[in-house]
Structure formats: C-alpha cells, structure tokens
Amino acid sequence: MVRKEIEKLLKQASEKLSIDGQVSVSFSSLPGLCDYQSNSVFALAKASGQNPYDLANKIVEAVEPTELFTFEVARPAFINIKLTQKGYNHFAEALFKDKRCGVKKISNQKVLLDYGGANVAKALHVGHLRSPIIGEALKRLYKFLGEEVISDVHLGDWGLQMGLTELQLYEDGKLDYYFSGKGAEPKLTLEMLNEAYPKASARKNVDEEFKRKADEWTLKIQNKEKPYYQIYQKIREVSVKEIKKHYGELGAEFDLWLGESDADEYINKALGIIENKGLSRISDGAVVVDVAVEGENIPIPKKSEDEVQRYKNPMPPAILKKYNGGALYATTDIATILMRNTEIGGLNRIEYIVDARQKNHFVQVFRVCKMAEISPSDQELIHIGYGTMNGSDGKPFKTRSGDTIKLEDIINMLIDKASEKLKSNGVEYDRKLALQIGVAAMKFGDLSNNVGKDYVFDLDKFLSFEGKTGPYLQYTVCRINSVLNKAQAEGGQINIESDEEKEIIKNILKLNSSYEIAYKEKSLNNLCLASYDLASAFSTFYNNHKILTEKDERKKASYISLLKLVKKALTQALDVLAIEVPEKM
Ligand code: ARG
C-alpha cells in the first residue's frame, strides 16, 4: 500500500511537469539510506530529452506536500524516499485496522488446481510429497488473493498398476473367491496391496508374458468387465482410505477426490473429437497424435544436477491408445480436461503441480488439447514442475538400502525427530504437537526453495528452532501469544518510535508485497523468506524492549497493539503456507 501511494505522488508530480511515462517504486536496496526508491527518472528523462538529475529534482519539487514521506534526489538520478514518524504511525494504524493486514486481492479468475496425484494400489512414496505441500499452499495463496479455486487430487487409478496388482493377487491365490466362487470373500488389505504391486512391478520387467497379461487385465478393468472391475473398486477403496489419511496428516485438503477413472466416459468423446479433426493416426496399432513443432529442442530430463543437458528433437507423438486399445496416462489427462471444461466450465486456468520430470507429458497433453480445442484458446494450461527432493548425497531421497521411501515412513520420521527435539526442550511426548512441528519443518524447508529447483531434504536443519525454519516461525507466534496472555491488557494507539519498531512495519509491508511476487512466480519462496524476516525483526524488537514491565502505559499499549499486528501478519502468512501454529511449544 505504501509503494502504491508513493507511486501515485510521483506520477502526479511528473504529470504536473507534463512528463509522460511509467513511474515505479521499489523497496530500497540500501535500507540504511532510505526506505523506498524510484529508478524511473532515467527512462523519463531519456524519453523527454532532459538531464536526468535536473528532472529528478524538478519532480521532487513538484510532489504534493505530504507529512508521510520525505523525498530526496541522489546522483545520478535516483529518488530516495523515507517514511516520516507520522508516516510510520499512519501505516501501522492502517495495517492494524485492516482485516487482511493490508494485503489486497488482485485477481478474480476461476482456477482448477490438480495436485496430490497419488496412485491407487501403489504405496504413497516420497515422490508424492512435494505436490500436496506446494499445491495446498498455492491453492491458499490464490484464494487469499481473490481467486475461485477448485482443488482436485487426481488420483492415478486407471493405469497398468491396477492390472499388475490384480494379476499378482490372483496368481498368489488371493482372488479365488471371485473367479471360482471357492471359499469366502477375501478381505483385501493394504498390506496385501503393498506386497503385490512391487512384486508385480519387478516381474513385468523380466517376464514378458506376465506384462502382456497385465495389459490384458488392465484393459478388462478399463472395460469394466466382471469381476475385474469389481475387484478393482475394492482395491481402490482400500487405497483411497490410506491416501486420505496421509494427505490429511500433511494438511492437504481437496474439493474433489476424483481420479483418472472418473474421466473414463470422456475418453471416447475426446478421442472422437481428435479423430474428427483429423489429428490422430495409427502407428503400430496404437492411436497417436503428432504434436512436434518445427525446430524445437526438447530437454531430456537429467538424472542428476551435474549431468550435462541433452536434447532430443522432435517431441515424440502423444500416444492415446495402446496396441490393445487400452488408455494411457496422456489419454486420461486429455479426457479429464474435457470433463473439467464440460462439467465445471468457466475455468481461466488449469494448473498441475507435478514433478518437473513430467514436463514432456504435459507439453504433449496441452498441445493435443489446444489443437483439438478441448481447451479453449484463452484458457491457460500450466504445469508447475517441481524439482527433486534429494538426500544429503545430492541424489533423489532414498532409504539406506536404496529403495524409495514410503510417505508413511517420512511422516513417522517427522514425528520421531520432532519428539526428540521437544524432549530435549523438556516437553513430554505429544503426537499431535510433534506432527504439527515436523510437518511445519518439512513444509517450510520445501517451500522456501524456488519451486523448480532440487533441494536437499535435511530434516535436522529444517527442525531447528532458530534460523529460517518452520518451527522458528511457529515458535515466534507462540511467544507472542504467551506475552499477550501474560499482559492481559488491551492495546492502544500504535506509536512507532524505535528503529526496531520501524523495522517491523517495513517487514510487514515487504511481507505484504511478497504475496504478489509469489503469485507471479508461482513459487512460495519469497513469502517464506519475508515471513522469516518479519519474525526475525520481531525477535530483535523483543530482545531490546521490555514489554510486560514497561511503566509508561501509553507505550505499553502501543507495544501490545504492535504485537497483535505482527501476530496477525505472521499467522496470515503461515495460513497461506498451510503451516499450523500449535498452542504451545
Ligand atoms: N499419478 C501421477 C504420478 O504418480 C501424478 C498425477 C499428476 N496429475 C496429472 N493430472 N497428471 O506420477
């Protein structure tokens, strides 16, 4: 809000001088010197053929007198702006009074967010960790900034893993009841699935006959044949229950619990549209769509950061039907876009929060949808590809024996490590609290990196109660709560006096502008860092001022209000990041 106000004043001043052009203001890059700065005069001077330094002075002289700011020209032609004492008080009060702490809504688009993406019948693993973390935070960010957001978990439930799992269960004699009517109906358990899928998945790589049969079973499920489809539904139910539990623990909430299978009736519709437009052709018995464009180089996903980037050309065709008529990953994604545009409609954007290594898949899917007009031309289809979560060795995070880690193990690890930490601080075991802290640590450790970058999962570092961590932010809010509880006093007029208080206000203003940055970058790192900066500005203030024992009642009341303001700004940011604040820690 401050930046906009200063921009307005400078714009009016330049218009008075009949100077046309954009005036923009940013936070100062030299905070010791001033609070805000404008570098726009260079361009304005160039456009109007004037000496930049002279023009800067003329503009500053023409600024409408104000008690909130001071303006100063610095060579060669910067305008430096400082908030006055009155300015600080004015904006502190405005932030305090505003329900949203001064954060403005900036968009009213309707958006569908596709994140989560867990696979039915397969154990949830670490690869499905970043999507719910990032997706949940982006959803909350978009909503907070005024958008209508619908979240869909889009379960992977219509692929080969179903045929593989069922066939393996069958061969292990677990499905006799359904095929020969022998014995009692078996109770399908998670343990059975967790055993069957990895076994089958390994087998398909070495046993071609088994793979062919699994394809056949998958097709039977997709064709909803008895009893294949009925067994599948039971498997799905067991799996989904587990997925709901884990996503719930991570604080990811979905409006729609749909999966690939829910778009089934749109598969043929989509294929019909594509065929009618003459976009598809048959290749080796499969239905494919050529999506390559002239001269493009497609980066081949790297296996590690230090590998050289290789390219292939052109983009391979999207395969929409297998040799045996079965649907594939791209098919269900295209059908799902058709379903969303038919049943929900009015979507300005559809965004996918999925591993960056699936980039080519989304390029293919999006191109087919645009070519076939399954997605209207003004609808944005966006893949937000996140980087890999690596272990300390810089390779994708695995167990010591080299297996992928199950999500359940990660969650237990978070609880254990957070409990240890709490114990060393003299807090007795409390699962809920440990989960809140552990999840916060992991989320902040994740979200404070640019979304596209790989990062190292270092739980010990993430769990520290000091520094740029989730627990530190939680701890800061708890500390404020405890002071407010002890003070048992209403706040009063905010009167910003010390540098520490000024820093708090500046950091709230910075935090406020970081929402828009996060929105534009589709990455929450800026918001995370700005939250940390505010928490740390608060700590400095707190360490240098006695609040509870302050004798001057007026001062004390101002401190209390300032604390409430910091609490509101921080909780608001943590809520967007989907980080819960415990009562105590
Ligand atoms: N199930 C997929 C996987 O495990 C992720 C799904 C992402 N969403 C999508 N619409 N393709 O890789």
pLDDT digits (tens, 9 = 90+) for 309-345: 888 888 999 999 998 888 999 999 999 999 999 999 9
* Pair 147, 167 in one domain: no
* Residue 166 to residue 215: CA distance in whole angstroms: 11
* Whether residue 18 has pLDDT greater than 80: yes
Q: Say yes or no: CB of residue 262 within 6 Å of ligand 1.
A: no
354: containing domain = 110-114+125-153+259-390
DSSP string of 242-286? Answer: HHHHHHHHTT---SB--BGGGGHHHHHHHHHHHHHTT-EEEETTE
Q: Are 417 and 460 in contact (CB under 8 A)?
A: yes
* Pair 200, 330 in one domain: no
* Pair 450, 329 in one domain: no
99 occurs within a structural domain: no
Question: pLDDT band at residue 32, thresholds of 50, 70 and 90?
Answer: confident
Report the nearest atom of ligand 1 relative to the CA of 119: 1
Of the residues 204, 231, 249, the one at which a domain ends: 249
CATH classification at residue 427: 1.10.730.10
For residue 312, which of 296, 294, 298 has the smallest C-alpha distance? 298
Q: What is the pLDDT of residue 257?
A: 97
Share in percent of the chain as helix, strand, coil (round to 5) = 55, 15, 35
Q: Among 358, 359, 366, 407, which residue has the most ligand 1 atoms within 8 Å of its CB, making it the best to mutate?
A: 358
How many structural domains compose the chain? 4
* Pair 335, 459 in one domain: no
* Whether residue 348 has pLDDT greater than 90: yes
For residue 529, which of 461, 473, 458, 466 has the smallest C-alpha distance? 473
Q: Say yes or no: CB of residue 352 within 6 Å of ligand 1.
A: yes
H or E element in which residue 352 lies = strand 349-355
383 occurs within a structural domain: yes
Average pLDDT over residues 82-98: 95
Q: What is the pLDDT of residue 347?
A: 98
* Pair 411, 329 in one domain: no
H or E element in which residue 43 lies = helix 41-48
95 occurs within a structural domain: no
* Residue 372 to residue 266: CA distance in whole angstroms: 14
Q: Say yes or no: CB of residue 116 within 6 Å of ligand 1.
A: no
* Residue 228 to residue 178: CA distance in whole angstroms: 9
Q: Say yes or no: CB of residue 117 within 6 Å of ligand 1.
A: yes
Q: How far is the CA of 152 from the centre of ligand 1 (A)?
A: 11
Q: What is the pLDDT of residue 28?
A: 92
Give Cα 542 to chain centroid, integer Å. 32
Report the nearest atom of ligand 1 relative to the CA of 156: 1
pLDDT digits (tens, 9 = 90+) for 469-505: 999 999 999 999 999 999 988 899 999 999 999 999 9
Sheet holding 26-27, edge to edge: 26-27, 36-38, 78-83, 69-74
367 occurs within a structural domain: yes
**The amino acid at 548:** L
* Residue 509 to residue 30: CA distance in whole angstroms: 16
Tell me how far CA of residue 229 lies from CA of 54, 217, 236, 287, in angstroms. 79, 10, 10, 24
Q: How far is the CA of 327 from the centre of ligand 1 (A)?
A: 15
Nearest CA to ligand 1 atom 2: 117
Q: Say yes or no: CB of residue 156 within 6 Å of ligand 1.
A: yes
Report the nearest atom of ligand 1 relative to the CA of 333: 10
* Pair 381, 465 in one domain: no
- What average pLDDT is seen over the chain? 94
Q: Which of 16-25, 252-261, 524-533 has the lowest mean pLDDT?
A: 16-25
* Pair 380, 511 in one domain: no
pTM value? 0.94
Q: Say yes or no: CB of residue 350 within 6 Å of ligand 1.
A: no
* Pair 37, 141 in one domain: no
* Pair 48, 182 in one domain: no
444 occurs within a structural domain: yes
172 occurs within a structural domain: yes
Torsion of CA 369, 373, 376, 380, to 10 degrees: 20
Name beta bridge partners: 355: 386
Tokens of 455: 């990062």
* Whether residue 296 has pLDDT greater than 90: no
Q: Say yes or no: CB of residue 87 within 6 Å of ligand 1.
A: no
CB atoms inside a 10 Å sphere around CB 256: 15
Q: What is the pLDDT of residue 285?
A: 94
* Residue 449 to residue 455: CA distance in whole angstroms: 7
Q: Among 113, 114, 154, which residue has the most ligand 1 atoms within 8 Å of its CB, making it the best to mutate?
A: 154
* Pair 142, 283 in one domain: yes
398 occurs within a structural domain: no
* Pair 283, 361 in one domain: yes
Q: What is the pLDDT of residue 391?
A: 87
Output the CA angle 462-467-468, nearest 5 degrees: 60
* Whether residue 567 has pLDDT greater than 90: yes
Q: Which of 98-112, 268-282, 380-394 has the lowest mean pLDDT?
A: 380-394
End-to-end CA distance of the chain: 34
Q: How far is the CA of 402 from the centre of ligand 1 (A)?
A: 23
pLDDT digits (tens, 9 = 90+) for 376-432: 999 999 999 999 998 888 888 877 777 778 888 889 999 999 999 899 988 888 999
Q: What is the pLDDT of residue 306?
A: 82
284 occurs within a structural domain: yes
SS (H, E, C) 539-551: HHHHHHCCCCCCC
* Whether residue 443 has pLDDT greater than 90: yes
* Pair 360, 415 in one domain: no
Of the residues 249, 278, 309, the one at which a domain ends: 249
pLDDT digits (tens, 9 = 90+) for 167-178: 999 999 999 999
* Residue 498 to residue 504: CA distance in whole angstroms: 10
CATH classification at residue 44: 3.30.1360.70
